[in-house]
Amino acid sequence: MSYDYLTICATLYQEARFLDDRQWDEWLACYADDVVYWMPAWDDDDELTADPHSQISLMYYPDRGGLEDRVFRIKTERSGASMPEPRTSHNVTNVEVLGEREHEIDVRYNFNTLNHRYRFTDQFFGTIYVTFRKVDDRLLIAKKKIVLKNDYIRQVLDVYHV
Per-residue pLDDT of the chain (162 residues; tens, 9 = 90+): 467 999 999 999 999 999 999 999 999 999 999 999 999 999 989 999 999 999 999 999 999 999 999 999 888 865 555 556 789 999 999 999 999 999 999 999 999 999 987 888 889 999 999 999 999 989 999 999 999 999 777 777 888 888
Instruction: Kindly give, in sequence order, each residue whose CB lies less than 8 Å from that of residue 24, ignoring residues fewer than 6 positions away.
Output: 18, 71, 74, 75
Half-sphere exposure in the Cβ direction for 80 (13 Å, CA): 0
Alpha-carbon gap, residue 157 to 95, rounded angstroms: 24
- What CATH architecture applies to the domain 5-161? Roll (3.10)
Instruction: Kindly give, in sequence order, each residue whose CB lies less than 8 Å from that of residue 119, ignoring residues fewer than 6 positions away.
Output: none
pTM: 0.92
